[in-house]
Amino acid sequence: MEVADRFSLWQRMLSHESAPVAVHLAGIAGFRSVGPPQHPRGSEPDSSELFTLSNDLEHQDWGVGCRLLAAAERTMREWGALESVLRVLDSNEPARTFYERQGWIADGTVKCVKILGVDVQKAR
């Protein structure tokens, strides 16, 4: 994906009301995006997916990620989601640990996906 295409994609995602941004005096500290599942396991109309939760490295351990995740969970509940899913790079142990500490449970599913032309393993 070309830089201009990625910029356009992120611009659309971040302008959506389900993509709040955490702002600090120095700028953006993090953001998240949620929506209907990209790869539903069936016809589950009451499920949602956390697509992105990104926290600036300089703002880690400030509670930004926890607040963004709590806001994402609240949004998904307001939409009526009874189940929420996320995928994280299988090798991203810090992220996996973060989600587990927040009560998310890995179901053991690992899927190979292509991100910016590179095959990666993502766990659910």
Give residue-wise pLDDT tens across range 59-117: 677 888 898 999 899 888 888 888 889 999 999 999 999 999 999 999 888 889 888 88
The pTM for the full model equals: 0.74
How far apart (Å, rounded) are the C-alpha atoms in residues 95 and 98?
5
CB proximity list for 93: less than 8 A, separation 6 or greater:
none
Q: List C-alpha distances in Å: 25 to 52, 57, 59, 61.
A: 22, 15, 11, 16
Q: Each residue of 65-81: pLDDT tens digit?
A: 898 999 899 888 888 88
| Domains, the chain, ordered by start | 1-38+45-86 (3.40.630.30), 87-124 (no CATH)
pLDDT at residue 69 in the model: 93
